[in-house]
Amino acid sequence: MVDRARRAPETVEEIAARTGRPLTTVKNTWRRHPDWPAPLPEKRGRWVQYDPDAVDAFLRDHIDRRAVALEPRRLYTAQDLEAAGIGIKAGTIRADVTRRRWPEPDDTEGGTKRWYGATATRALEGRRGYRRTAGQ
């Protein structure tokens, strides 16, 4: 059995600093999620504390997303990317193109917008919460 040292409880302020996210995101968005861990019974001053392992599990399951390995030279529609499991809906991709938060399509033959897998992978890596897949 592995003897892991127990990490000290964290406040939302410390969670925000550790994850590089604004305090308001942790307080007003993450904590309102139904799967956010329950606070520990002991407080530190006026701040409630959370088990860092439970917070990490929440982040892994609900916030961090592993970038899907896409075929670099294959062309994907927004619907194809959604079906590949990238974690973004096709409608969001189309809206983000309009708002210039997603790259312009690499191909528009026949009026269908398509992106190479390499283009989509770069776009995903620039989004918050995505990590590279192993071997990339």
What pTM value is reported for the model?
Answer: 0.56
Tell me if 84 sits within 8 A of 68, measured CB to CB: yes
Phi, psi torsion values for 35, nearest 5 degrees: -95, 5
**For residue 1, how many C-alpha atoms fall within 13 Å in the half-sphere facing its CB?**
3
The rounded distance, in Å, linking the Cα atoms of 77 and 115 is 6
Q: For the chain, 136 residues long, give each residue's pLDDT as a single digit of tens.
A: 444 567 899 999 999 999 888 999 999 999 999 999 999 999 999 999 999 999 999 988 888 766 678 999 999 999 999 999 888 899 999 999 999 999 999 999 999 999 999 999 989 887 765 444 434 3
Q: CA nearest 29: which of 17, 16, 40?
A: 16
Complete DSSP assignment for 27-40: HHTGGGSTTSPPPP
